Each structure stands twice: as structure tokens, then as C-alpha cells.
Structure 1
């Protein structure tokens, strides 16, 4: 870790000095949490997930939160905490994260035990170090720094935390939890720290995530596989028909052909396109990370624009008929395809699902029976660059990093839109993880310098939001 520059005679210097002087204790406590294998996807770790929730609840009480509760769900528990500000007129901020982690084992390719945290070369290696325990826990250090350097006995904002235990299992009960507890979770804005930055030297703030709709289309033909010599060319083949549907999903420009698919989307402004273009993006390096040899997609857009700000349709799996060695001359009785649609602001999952359903079924030839089913969807989420609360995050990050902050988006999907839609609050992203941290991969790690800068940014954010909240209204 680097030595904190500056002195305690300034806000930035005081926060930095506090964070670094308390970093050893902070990292020791984080290591305790990381030793708990809170893998929500594996039933044998259900007790560990609860133990991890209990551990966090205890540390939040130690931090000073007067209200800390474990909220049970039909799955894993969530942790809720609330610390009211002294000023009743202060804004209310809800911080979201998750305490569950992905499965991990030494045999997967780890160089150290995934649940035995180890520091090497300024990096903390453990499952959950970056995703998401490290980024949840830096808020405790940041809050203590905020209180210590401002002389406050309570945060400058009404501060709430919601840390769920099923994010790595798809958050199946999260929306219902938020709806059921909406009165307790009511907030003016939401801060999500389950995200990251562009790289180690380029601090960035994410402004949005794409939504997701998924479906499976199954075409049924003959009641059983039949002889292709006796019946081929005379009855409809479900695999052939399915291939035609899939082939028609995109036009020659890479655009999705489903009618109305692009209706109402929020397009990138020229300013946003310039901001994306200014990022130090190396397409060849990106392709190596993607294990691919060429880029593809909607024409007229860069790779970053395609991944962050344009809707997509992808074939996730396709099958039907004989799959073994050699040949088997049949007409298969059925064929299937699994599709996913990443959505951007302005696209409603329900409307997209109906459009896809109508489009696909209209292409099924007579004599075949079609079944199409959709999984639970996720809405897209976008916060305008001009939003005053977003500018508070930017200023706080710039104080922590000492350099200008740039903007990104996430191509993936998450619970951000659920929080925004249910609570009616804008969503902000504050994360310091970098791509090399290896989320979900062997040797997941977090850069210690960046983790402490996350704590610094958190310390600055609460006062900045309190000072500038009136600008957001």
C-alpha cells in the first residue's frame, strides 16, 4: 500500500490519514469475513451464508449503526442497517451490496485456498475480496473516517444498508423483499458498490446497467423421431424451421429484426459517445480477454457502445435431433433454442417479451407446434450524467484518486432497476474493483490501494450529498 500524501490540515488529507492509519484493523476484520464460505448456490453452505450475514450484522453494530436487522427470505437472509442523521431534512441514502459469493475450490486453479485470505504484492486474494465483500465492507471504514474527520456523532445523511445473500444465485427473492420492505428501505438515492472501474489507473463511475429478458423456444414436429428417407421432404422438420427462425433474428447490419425492438430506447448523445471514445480502450487486448478473433455486432457503433448502450439478441444454446457420433438419418421430433435479450433504458421487458413471442410464433410453419417460455426479467437502469447526486459521487471519487473521473456503463444486468423502480430513487454506482480482480474466477483478488481509496470516496460522499442535495430537486 502507498503512503498517504498530504496532511490532516485538509479534508482530503484528514480522511486519507484516518483511512490508512486504521487500514490494518480494517483488513484484519475483512479477512475474518472472507474466511466464511458463504456460497449461496450450494445448499451445503446455507449455514455459512447465514453465518456471514450474522458476522456483518455484528460489525455494523460495532461501527455504530443503531438499527441492524437480519431479514429472512425464502432463500438466504439479507442484512439491513439504518443510522439516522441528526438533521431531519438530510437526504436518505441506501447502500446496496451482497454478502454471498461464488463457489470456489483450490482444484479450480487457485494458487491459495479461496477461503483463506492471503496478501501478496499489495493484493488481497480470496473469494469475495472484490465481489462483493470487500466493496461492502469499505463503507464501514469510510463511515468511521467521515465521522472522525467531521466531528459528527451521526452521518451527514440518513444512511441505510441493504446487503442481500442471493445475488450470486440470481436474486430470486430480492424484488419481493424490496417490495415488502419498501417503507423501511425508502430512500432519496441508492448507492450500489457491486461494480468497478475501468482499470487501476483510470478511475471511473458507472452510470447504468442493461436489462435482461430470456426465453426458450421449442418446436415440436413428429410425435417421435422418424426416418428421413421415408418422410424427409414431405413433412416439416422442426430443426430446419428453428434454424430459419434463428437466422432471421438479425439483419445484415447486425440489427435485431423483431418489430418494435428499438422503440423508445434512450440513444447515446454525441457527448456520451465522445466520453466512451476517450477511454483507453485496446480492442486487440479486449479480444484476447474475450477469447475471440474479431468483433461483430450492430453496424454504426463501436465495441464499447455495443456492449454498454445498445440492446442485443443472443443465441445462448441450440439443439435438436441426433447428437452422437456418426450419423442417424432422422427428422427429429423437436428442436429448441435459448435466447437472451440485453435491454437498454426505454425498453420494457414485458413489451419486448410480447414482441419476441409474436415475431417467433409467426415464423413457425404449419404442422409444427411451438412453445415459448420466458424467465424472470431484469429492467435496464440509467442515471443521467447531469444528475446532481451523480456529481456527488464523481467529486468524492476525484478527491480519493486525485484525478479526473470518467464514465462507463455495465453491459451486464443486476438489481439496480428493482431498487430504482420500487423505491423511486435514482441509482448511483461507487465501486473500485478492476477487471484484473477476476470476479467468479480462480485467484479473485482486490487491490489494497484501491480498496482504501473506495473507503476514502465513501467518507467524502455522505457530506457531499448532504451539502449538494438541494441541487437535485
Structure 2
């Protein structure tokens, strides 16, 4: 298969950039805020607009998919070739709340171009990064002379990502047969900086826990009973303090069982990124870095599991003193998981550990509200290498690698479909996701289009998922 000629792709993008931005601006004017029940109609209008635009782009199938909540969009464009790999692109069309009164310099739902930046809610997160695939696939067809993509191309664009994706896993399970793919591309992500293109290779998982401790049936006098009965607030504090050892490793036996360790090559690639820890601390509103001994800051937040105390409370917190042994105390924990960790095994390890930490006389309840599994694609996976080649052609420079310390619905796609998950995005940290004055860099948006135009031929040649 002949690769897409780069010069033809760039000329096509330049010729059609005006109409592309006009269409994107029309979509950005739809205030599809999934968190606001009053905006449910706008979220539906956004889904219907996108389905119609995908049909206009050339997708023979473009449907609005209902969920128990807000609608998603599914589109499909078969290659027509028996041996073509199948690629599923994920993104979302809902956005965060926004109002001019929040501090925006422009109206958040009136897209505004200033210089080479487009300001609007959803410009980067995630409508801009979804929409670059429409012009990308058209440029791919124009440059290759094909009438259909080089891969069986599918899109799943969610409508509730900004509300925690409460119905997404159920949707993926329900439609697993139609969503079946050899590889999943997540276009709800970013890269390191304007001058350092990167591909993310994985996300950490997440598991929450809450422990409710009960001691006396009521608050009791600390002079009459203190020092002679167990104090639930003290137990909560002791358990929180016991989470880590002196090297800041999680002290729960079995917690690290089965994890995929960083390779030396991955550590070298992380170290090659232009990371400024002082600047990172300013962004973190923090005054010092710490964590598991033997790992860099980037390694800690991308590739190591963690345990965090999210909240601890109990007893009297009002003005002045109240000399009591409190009746109860509470502890909220979260655990970031990495590849190789299974949430259920971690839950069991936490259960067993908590049981050893709580003294006689304290009753407790341990609850796990939910969990998201981690996902990781090896550096040598052919689909990942195809993505790196496509981005390298667009940016005309070396592409480096990152991971994502947070968690998201990507793991649901990996779990249900059994396909590797890759990340393709062109957003940069200054784009202001979830903040005022969200924007996208127009030059980088064009690079996203260009990358998508090359990607389908690259994936077809690599036989994605092989």
C-alpha cells in the first residue's frame, strides 16, 4: 500500500481549513453541558449535529445512540478490504459548564479567533480533537485516491464524559459487537507542549474506598473515659499514617503484586522530556516534591501505583475545646493503579490490611464505591509505532512518549473490546481544559488533521493489533 503523499495532504488541509473551522465553530456554539439537566436538549442537539456532519463527511453509517442518560454518536466507514484492520476512535461531545461571568474574556459559546488561537468551551476538550478526524479522513481519501479509508473506521463519541461517564460501560457492553475493533484511538488527550509532540501510552486506574469507624455509642467524657477505651479518630489517623513506609511505598501487603515495572527504555524516554520540576510545583500549587523512593516525579505520577488520603474527619471541630472521645470517625482513600494490578485483588489486599489495623473495641465498615482498571500499550506494539510515525510525519520531528496519571473511560473500551488503547491528541497544557478561556492552537489543530490523514494508511500497513 502506498503511503499518503504528505504534500497532497497539506495542500488539501490548507484548501479546506476555512470551511472546517466554520463547521467546528457551529458545533462549539451548542452548549452541550452534560452536568446541567437544563442543558440536556443541547447535548442531544450536539449529538444530532455531529451525526449529520459525519454523514456529510462520507460515513455511510452515523447514528445517535441512546443511553440511560445522554446520547452518544456512533459512525462507521468500512474499508471494503477483507484484511483491513478495524480502528475505533473515542471522544466526547459534551463539555464543562462555562459562563462569561466566570472570568472569560470572550463568550464561551461564541467561538472567537484571536491570532492563531480559537477560544470556546470545548475547543480543545473535546470537540476540536474529535472534529479533526472529519477533515483528516477526507484528506486521506483525496491524497490516496481511495473511496473509503484504508481501515475499517469507527467512531464512538460519548455525551457524558464530563459527568463521569455513568452510562458508558453499559453502552460499550450493549454494543460490543458493533464496536469490535483491533485497536482503539483515544482523541481526548494532549501532548507535552507546542514544541514537543508526544504520544501517551497508558493511563492509571482508580479505586476509591471509605472507612467509617465507630467507637462508643455516643461522644463520651475524655476525663472519665479517655485513655481507657479506643478512640475512633485516633484509629483513623493511625491507619492513614500506616499507609506508607519510610520510603513512601504503600505498606499494604500484596499491593504491588503483578505490576508491570518500567523498562529502562521507558525511563530513558521519560527523562528525555523537558520537565521543569519547579514549574510543575507552581502548577501543583505545592512547595516540595516527594513520593516513592527511587523514582522521578514523572515516573511517580505516570507509572507507579499510589494510595492517597482524600479526607479524614470525626469528633468535634467547632470553636474552642470539647473534651470528648468521639463516637465516630471517617476516612476517604483513593488508590491509583498501574498495569498489572487488578482492582478486585487490590480490594482484597486492602480489606485484609484494614482488618489488621483496627483494634478490638472499634467497629468499622469498609466500602469501595467503584473502580477503573489501568491500561497500557507496550512501546513496540505495531499500532503504537504506526501512530508515532503518523505524528512524526505531521510534525516533522521526533515524537516522544508520555503516560497519563489520571483515569478515564478508556479502560472500559479495553476491558470489553479486548483491544489495545492508544492516545492521539494535539492539545497542550495552556489550552485551559475545564478553566476559563479554553482555547485550541489552530496550527496544532491542523497538525491533528494531518496526523489523522496519515494514520489510516500507517495502521493498515502495520496491520493494527497484529
TM-score under structure 1 normalisation?
Answer: 0.96
| Structure 1 stretches of at least 4 aligned residues deviating more than 3 Å after TM superposition | none
Alignment map for 1:281-360 (pairs within 5 Å): 281-360=275-354
Corresponding residue for residue 456 of structure 2: 462
Q: Distance in 2 between matches of 1:26 and 1:327?
A: 64
For structure 1, which segment, 449-458 or 115-124, has the greater mean C-alpha deviation from structure 2 after superposition?
Answer: 115-124
Corresponding residue for residue 80 of structure 2: 86
Contact 1:199–1:435 (Cα < 8 Å) also in 2: yes
Contact 2:88–2:184 (Cα < 8 Å) also in 1: yes
What's the CA shift string for 1:415-472, capped at 9, x where partnerless? 22211121111111110001111111111111110011000000000111112217x5
Q: Distance in 1 between matches of 2:25 and 2:85?
A: 33
Contact 1:67–1:83 (Cα < 8 Å) also in 2: yes
Aligned length: 464
Q: Distance in 2 between matches of 1:229 and 1:302?
A: 48
Contact 2:4–2:457 (Cα < 8 Å) also in 1: no
Contact 1:361–1:370 (Cα < 8 Å) also in 2: no
Contact 1:99–1:133 (Cα < 8 Å) also in 2: yes
Corresponding residue for residue 274 of structure 1: 268
Residue 388 (1) aligns with residue 388 (2): no
User: Which residue of 398, 405, 415 corresponds with 1:404?
Assistant: 398
Gaps of 5+ in 2: none
Residue 195 (1) aligns with residue 189 (2): yes
2:336 partner SS: strand
Corresponding residue for residue 59 of structure 2: 65
Residue 17 (1) aligns with residue 11 (2): yes
For structure 1, which segment, 158-167 or 13-22, has the greater mean C-alpha deviation from structure 2 after superposition?
Answer: 13-22
For structure 1, which segment, 248-257 or 33-42, has the greater mean C-alpha deviation from structure 2 after superposition?
Answer: 33-42
Q: Distance in 2 between matches of 1:319 and 1:118?
A: 46
Residue 238 (1) aligns with residue 232 (2): yes
Residue 221 (1) aligns with residue 215 (2): yes
Corresponding residue for residue 118 of structure 2: 124
Gaps of 5+ in 1: 1-8
Contact 2:303–2:403 (Cα < 8 Å) also in 1: yes
2:333 partner SS: strand
For structure 1, which segment, 305-314 or 318-327, has the greater mean C-alpha deviation from structure 2 after superposition?
Answer: 318-327
Structure 1 vs Structure 2 CA RMSD? 1.3
TM-superposed CA distance for 1:361, in Å, is 2.5
1:22 partner SS: helix
2:62 partner SS: strand
TM-superposed CA distance for 1:10, in Å, is 7.9
Corresponding residue for residue 29 of structure 2: 35
Residue 211 (1) aligns with residue 205 (2): yes
TM-superposed CA distance for 1:77, in Å, is 0.8
Change (3 A) 1:147 1:10: closer
Corresponding residue for residue 178 of structure 1: 172
2:309 partner SS: strand
What's the CA shift string for 1:205-261, capped at 9, x where partnerless? 000000000011110112222222222222211101100000000001000001100
